[in-house]
A and B are shown apart, each in its own frame.
Chain A
Amino acid sequence: GAVVSQHPSWVICKSGTSVKIECRSLDFQATTMFWYRQFPKQSLMLMATSNEGSKATYEQGVEKDKFLINHASLTLSTLTVTSAHPEDSSFYICSARDPGGATEAFFGQGTRLTVV
C-alpha cells in the first residue's frame, strides 16, 4: 500500500515555543491530507483537511491560528503548533489518500508532542 511518512515521531518542547510536524506521501501525490489529534485512550478527532495549493479547512472548534497547516506541494503537508502549551500535548497523526487509487486512507506513524 501507499506509504505516508510523518516526522518527528516524538518531540518535547517548552511552553511558548512552536513545533512543526511534517507529513509526506512517499510514493504517490496527495492533493488532500488530513490531520488528526488523539488524546490518551480516546479516538481520533479530525482537526483539519489540508489541500495542496489552497487554505486548509478546519473543523469546528479548532483554532486555525494556533494550528497552522501548509500544503505547499503534492507530497508534503506541515502542521505547526504555535505558542504551544501543556494542553496541546497529544498524539498528532496525518493521513493521505492516493487520488489515483481506492479510498483507503494511509496514515503516518504519528507524532507524540509533549509540552513542558
Chain B
Amino acid sequence: AQKVTQAQTEISVVEKEDVTLDCVYETRDTTYYLFWYKQPPSGELVFLIRRNSFDEQNEISGRYSWNFQKSTSSFNFTITASQVVDSAVYFCALTSGTDKLIFGTGTRLQVFP
C-alpha cells in the first residue's frame, strides 16, 4: 500500500527564518512521482514541484528547495527566508502512475511578521 506521512501538523516561524517541511513516503513501486502542493487560505491547490523516482537531484527554485532521498524515502521541502505570504497548508503527494494521488495530511505553516 502507498502512504505519505507528514508528521508536522503545524509549524510557526518568524519571517526570514528558514523552515523545512518533512515528507516520508511508502511505496513498493520502483517508478513513482512525488509532489508538493501549496494550499493558501483561499483553498486552491498550487502545484510546486514534481519529482520522479529516478531523479534524486535536489532542486532549488528561488527560496524553495527540495531534498529527495530514496534511501530514507523522504522528500523534504525547505523554504529559505520565509515570508508571511508563505503561510499556507503544504501537502506532499505520491503517485505510481495509476493516476491516483495519495496525499499526506498536510503541514500548516504560519509565518509571523
Q: Which residues of A contact B (CB under 8 A)?
A: 1, 32, 34, 41-44, 46, 49, 91, 93, 95, 97, 102-110, 112
Contacts and interface: CB of A to CB of B under 8 A. Distances in A.
Contact of B101 (A46, A91, A109): A46
Contact of A34 (B35, B97, B100, B105): B100
A43 B97 contact: no
Interface stretch (B22-30, B44-52, B65-73, B74-82): B44-52
Contacts of A1: 47
B62 interface: no
Contacts of A110: 43-45
Contact of A103 (B50, B103, B106, B108): B50
Chain B: interface size category:
20 to 34
Nearest to B95: A103
B104 A34 contact: no
A95 to B, nearest CB: 7
Nearest to B98: A49
Nearest to B6: A43
B64 interface: no
- Complex A-B, nearest 10 residue pairs according to Cβ-Cβ distance, in ascending order: A107-B45, A110-B43, A109-B44, A43-B105, A43-B103, A44-B103, A103-B33, A104-B50, A43-B106, A105-B101
B55 interface: no
A103 B100 CA distance: 11
Given A43-B103, A93-B43, A105-B47, 11 more contacts: A41-B108, A44-B91, A44-B103, A49-B100, A95-B45, A102-B50, A103-B33, A105-B95, A109-B43, A109-B44, A110-B44
28 contacts: A1-B47, A32-B99, A34-B101, A43-B103, A43-B105, A44-B91, A44-B101, A44-B103, A46-B100, A46-B101, A91-B43, A93-B44, A93-B45, A95-B101, A97-B99, A103-B33, A103-B97, A104-B35, A104-B50, A106-B47, A107-B44, A107-B47, A108-B44, A109-B42, A109-B44, A110-B43, A110-B45, A112-B43
